[in-house]
């Protein structure tokens, strides 16, 4: 497969849609909570574009955001985050979906976020920032539980999105911890900060809480509670509930953690045994519904319990207006989990297993995997991941897939080698060359006799196709490997079109152009039926290149149009499968004399070429040969020679490339002459293209180095080179130029 993985069943099914709706639904304000109208009013009328609400758990951050939403006259976008959103693509999809819902925009904006993870910062985040900046209606974006995002990649894309918030609109984030983007916004006075001091209740606010709980105690008792809890809202609420049930509101000294443990335990012990058990056993769920809780606990009254708990307990929060999904207050959930581990630790695995079974039966396999990873059932876990990997990967779930694989570890994965093949595909197509080579070495000695869950006919067949893609041992072995997949994959296999395509790729490498074209045509026809966009794109482009070499330009143009349409439809602009299409489109434009289009297509190809590494040598070399030839035709000898040097680097690792080696020698002879002009300078290297998107952020040189795992000196050198090549003298100027010429942004 010289592309991305074949299409499998979609992962966006009804339950996933309900969970997404819960994340994007604005919660209603709840009775008994002290109004923060003054804080909200001051923040709404502030000139700052960003509002950071940062305080430990229990300070009413979510309540403040809900009250803000209820009083807002601008369009309101709401996102409630959890730990499953801690990847840049998932985050951008959520933000775009919330913005589209709030402002009534085209759903295409959400689809534009489904990019290769390597393009999240350089393409998707600027695209969303532009949408924010250019919207005609003022809006407020309310983000709850920002602390769920711990990955640097999420912090980086968020910083780019924040830069797009226009005057008159605001981005409000609530977090338990300090928010990374705040420091860079302070110098320009562009952030309003609300912390524990502003959120703490005073004596008057605490008395309102006790009044709501219908607790008649002396004012001095309430004042003592306020002093002991230091106005910590959740502590005051718990003290009122304890007092309502006949307890002593608060009798201990200590910090928030000790106060929390005491208050929660006092409140918890006042509940019935059955309710305590229900709370404990459902605490391992991120999201709760009547059906899910019934499946996990076996309690047929789960729906009644949830509604009663919502009515009497401020720590069960509805996530949608239909009261279908709930969640526990974060700190309360932590307490309940502690109780579960203390009293029923032996049940943890069984509860996660039941949750996984329910999610899997409800067509939400990704959530099933999340729970299975908390169990000892590794066999079913790896099989389920293998089964859903194809669709999940293509739906933009690569960061999640990588997290799953890392959690499992190589030893567990290789107990089920078909998943190792999937890991190899992901690494190969993500441009992670070293990781791809590592998986190839591990798979060489693996064996597996069962039927893989990924839809391939056998482990031997799927591994042979990956070997074909990587061209590990030259053209002859590539033909042998391709023949295995071709022979083994039946007509019903989701890998059949891929197997046929790879035979054509191998034949092209040994000079059998007509045979290759025939197989490409067969693969494209099958891919059009199965919906495998990658084979459709690559097969059509390879056929177009052959047509061009034979002077059949009209037929070539039609084939390139097929490939371009598939790229746009499936949002595959930055994938390795698409880069050759840009090179073909540029060659067509040069043939017709359309230099503007040719340069635009060449820029697209150069921008995406880092995804074509030496682990996909046939595509990587063929791409650079066509690009170098086009640049030479345009009189840009510097870029042509630069691409020749990149080919040389690939050939050092994959020297046996058959017909491509001959084409390379012809190209070398061409660019070594002086018949072409020498205008232009060298292009940005792959390393510089990887660094370029970080210039949009407020990261320092050392921080960028940490993101890319390179030294500070290397970053400084590459930034200086970017400035010289773009003719810029500052980060902002470099970003503006790069955006204008198409190296950044959509």
Whether the predicted pLDDT of 738 surpasses 80: yes
For helices 398-413 and 88-103, the axis angle rounded to 10 degrees is: 150
Mean pLDDT of the region 78-86? 92
- Rounded Cα distance, 321 and 538, in Å: 46
Q: Which residue has the higher pLDDT, 206 or 620?
A: 620
Mean pLDDT of the region 578-594? 96
Which pLDDT tens digit goes with each residue over 369-407?
999 999 999 999 999 999 998 777 766 677 788 889 989
User: Reduced to 3 states, what is the DSSP secondary structure of residue 322?
Assistant: coil
Angle at 110 between CA 105 and CA 111, to 5 degrees: 125
Which pLDDT tens digit goes with each residue over 89-118?
999 999 999 999 999 999 999 989 988 888
Q: What is the pLDDT of residue 8?
A: 39
Q: What is the pLDDT of residue 606?
A: 95
Q: Which residue has the higher pLDDT, 445 or 323?
A: 445
Nearest-10 Cα torsion for 476, 479, 482, 483: -120
Mean pLDDT of the region 197-224? 87
**Domains by residue range for the chain, with CATH:** 35-198 (3.40.50.300), 203-269 (no CATH), 612-678 (no CATH), 686-741 (1.10.10.10)
Angle at 276 between CA 270 and CA 280, to 5 degrees: 140
Mean pLDDT of the region 654-668? 93
Q: What is the pLDDT of residue 677?
A: 52
Which pLDDT tens digit goes with each residue over 220-255?
888 888 887 788 888 888 788 777 766 655 544 444
The top-scoring range by mean pLDDT among 254-258, 264-268, 692-696 is 692-696
pTM of the full structure: 0.86
Instruction: Look at the alpha carbons of 247, 248, 249, 255 in this order and tell me if their dihedral is positive or negative.
Output: negative
Which pLDDT tens digit goes with each residue over 309-329?
887 766 788 887 777 899 988
User: Reduced to 3 states, what is the DSSP secondary structure of residue 525?
Assistant: helix
């Amino acid at each position: 497969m010289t592309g991305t993985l074949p299409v499998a069943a979609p992962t966006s099914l009804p339950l996933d849609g309900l969970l997404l709706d819960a994340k994007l639904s604005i919660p209603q304000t709840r009775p008994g909570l002290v109004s923060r109208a003054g804080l909200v009013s001051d923040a709404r009328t502030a000139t700052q574009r960003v509002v950071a609400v940062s305080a430990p758990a229990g300070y009413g951050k979510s309540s403040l955001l809900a009250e803000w939403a209820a009083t807002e006259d601008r369009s309101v976008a709401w996102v409630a985050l959890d730990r499953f959103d801690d990847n840049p693509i998932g985050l951008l999809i959520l933000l775009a979906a919330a913005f589209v819902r709030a402002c009534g925009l085209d759903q295409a904006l959400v689809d534009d976020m489904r990019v290769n993870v390597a393009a999240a910062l350089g393409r998707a985040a600027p695209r969303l920032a532009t949408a924010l900046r250019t919207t005609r209606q003022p809006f407020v974006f309310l983000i709850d539980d920002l602390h769920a995002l711990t990955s640097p990649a999420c912090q980086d894309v968020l910083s780019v999105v924040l830069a797009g918030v226009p005057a008159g609109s605001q981005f409000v984030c609530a977090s338990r911890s300090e928010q990374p983007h705040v420091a860079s916004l302070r110098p320009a006075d562009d952030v309003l900060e609300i912390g524990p001091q502003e959120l703490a209740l005073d004596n008057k606010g605490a008395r309102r809480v006790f009044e709501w709980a219908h607790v008649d105690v002396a004012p001095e008792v309430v004042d003592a509670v306020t002093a002991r809890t230091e106005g910590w809202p959740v502590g005051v609420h718990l003290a009122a509930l304890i007092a309502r049930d006949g307890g002593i509101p608060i009798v201990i000294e200590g910090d928030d953690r000790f106060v929390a443990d005491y208050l929660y335990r006092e409140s918890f012990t006042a509940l019935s045994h059955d309710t305590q058990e229900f709370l404990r056993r459902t605490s391992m769920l991120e999201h709760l519904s009547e059906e899910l809780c019934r499946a996990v606990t076996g309690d047929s009254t789960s729906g009644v319990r949830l509604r009663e708990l919502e009515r009497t307990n401020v720590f069960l929060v509805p996530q949608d207006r239909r009261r279908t999904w709930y969640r526990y207050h974060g700190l309360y959930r932590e307490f309940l989990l502690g109780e579960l581990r203390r009293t029923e630790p032996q049940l943890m695995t069984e509860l996660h297993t039941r949750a996984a079974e329910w999610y899997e039966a409800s067509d939400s396999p990704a959530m099933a995997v999340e729970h299975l990873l908390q169990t000892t059932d590794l066999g079913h876990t790896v099989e389920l991941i293998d089964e859903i990997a194809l669709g999940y990967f293509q739906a933009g779930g690569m960061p999640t897939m990588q997290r799953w694989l890392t959690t499992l570890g190589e030893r567990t994965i290789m107990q089920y080698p078909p998943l190792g093949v999937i890991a190899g595909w992901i690494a190969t197509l993500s441009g992670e060359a070293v990781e791809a080579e590592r998986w190839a070495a591990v798979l060489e000695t693996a064996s597996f006799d069962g039927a893989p869950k990924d839809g391939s006919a056998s482990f031997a067949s799927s591994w042979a196709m990956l070997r074909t893609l990587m061209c590990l041992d030259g053209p002859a072995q590539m033909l042998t490997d391709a023949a295995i997949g071709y022979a083994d994959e039946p007509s019903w296999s989701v890998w059949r079109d891929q197997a046929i395509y790879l035979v054509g790729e191998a034949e092209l490498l040994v000079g059998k152009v007509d045979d290759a074209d025939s197989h490409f045509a067969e693969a494209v026809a099958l891919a059009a039926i199965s919906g495998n966009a990658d084979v459709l794109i690559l097969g059509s482009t390879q056929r177009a290149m052959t047509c061009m070499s034979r002077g059949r330009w009209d037929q070539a143009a039609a084939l390139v149009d097929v490939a371009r349409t598939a790229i746009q439809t499936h949002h595959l602009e930055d994938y390795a499968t698409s880069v050759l299409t840009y090179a073909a489109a540029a060659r067509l434009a040069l043939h017709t004399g359309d230099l503007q289009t040719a340069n635009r297509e060449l820029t697209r190809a150069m921008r995406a070429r880092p995804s074509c590494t030496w682990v996909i040598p046939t595509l990587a070399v063929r791409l650079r040969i066509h690009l170098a030839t086009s640049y030479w035709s345009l009189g840009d000898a510097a870029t042509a020679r630069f691409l020749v040097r990149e080919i040389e680097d690939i050939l050092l690792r994959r020297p046996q490339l058959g017909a491509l080696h001959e084409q390379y020698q012809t190209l070398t002879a061409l660019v070594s002459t002086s018949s072409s002009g020498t205008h232009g300078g060298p292009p940005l290297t792959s390393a510089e293209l990887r660094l370029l998107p970080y210039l949009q952020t407020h990261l320092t040189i050392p921080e960028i180095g940490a993101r890319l795992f390179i030294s500070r000196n290397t970053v400084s050198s590459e930034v200086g080179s970017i400035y010289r090549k773009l003719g810029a003298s500052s980060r902002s100027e470099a970003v503006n130029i790069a955006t204008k010429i198409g190296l950044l942004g959509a």
